[in-house]
Amino acid sequence: MSGHSKWATIRRKKGKADAERGKIFTRHIKEITVAARESGGDPDGNPRLRSAIAAAKASNMPADNIKRAIQKGTGELPGVSYESVTYEGYGPGGVAIYMEVFTDNRNRVVAEIRHILSKYGGNLGANGCVAWMFEKKGIVTVELEAVDEDTLMEIATEAGAEDILTDSGSYEIIADPADIYSVSSALESRHVPMVSSEVTMRPTTTVKLDSESQASSMLKMYELLEENDDIQKVYANFDIDENILEKLA
């Protein structure tokens, strides 16, 4: 598994996800709003919006919140106009970092990103410098105790899933981004609860951080980037030994 997945697991163990539910909802609202603004408010004709709605439902976002976010995107309700932009760079040890940003002030967010990266031994790079190290995939996460593996395999594969991985107390269902909505809908119809459903950038190769100092710097950098209000998603290709992770947890 990538370092991204391991760090996500640590945060779940700490209970941080529940504490950040408000921020999680805010990110879903931004994604839905931008998707509706760019390609319309009908999810049947807007794959990005379908995926955004599936992710919001997996996080238990109320239907009214989803509806209002769509209406803000289509202009039926007033709202902030966000610009969608990506930034790429490097972290400690040459780790590749890819960031998806929704912002109303590009100058502000690029200055903040540059500051965070440089503070922990990284740097901002040109567009395209690390994007080739990632592949876009849909990932649905389900807790192990929520369903048995055979049943999950049956539901997921019939809905178009490519693979199912098991790691750290959960299943990760891998699908083409175009199929993420059908996989999530199939699980929902069979009353299988989901931890998350999202279109993500999976690293095709990883960078192993063998020292505690590099690992610590990378995790602090990653966390600060995730906490930035303008940064929607952060992807990185670091890998850290489990023993080092336990010391830093």
- In the structure, what pLDDT confidence band is assigned to residue 9 with cuts at 50, 70 and 90? low
Is residue 7 within 8 Å of 219, Cβ to Cβ? yes
Handedness of CA 226, 237, 117, 218 (dihedral sign): positive
Torsions phi, psi for 224 (to 5 deg): -65, -40
What pLDDT is recorded for position 236? Answer: 94
In terms of CATH, what superfamily is 133-203? YebC, transcriptional regulation domain (3.30.70.980)
Q: What is the mean pLDDT of the chain?
A: 86
Topology, domain 83-130+204-248 = Alpha-Beta Plaits (3.30.70)
Q: State what percent of residues in the chain have pLDDT above 90.
A: 46
What pLDDT is recorded for position 54? Answer: 85
Residue 65 pLDDT > 80: yes
Residues 6+ away with beta carbon under 8 Å from 33:
69, 70, 72, 73, 79, 82
What pLDDT is recorded for position 20? Answer: 56
pTM for this one?
0.76
Domain ranges of the chain: 3-74, 83-130+204-248, 133-203
Please state which CATH class domain 3-74 belongs to. mainly alpha
Q: Do domains 83-130+204-248 and 133-203 have the same CATH topology?
A: yes
What pLDDT is recorded for position 22? Answer: 64
Give per-residue pLDDT as tens, 124-173: 999 999 999 999 999 998 999 999 999 999 999 999 999 998 876 789 99
Q: State what percent of residues in the chain have pLDDT above 70.
A: 90
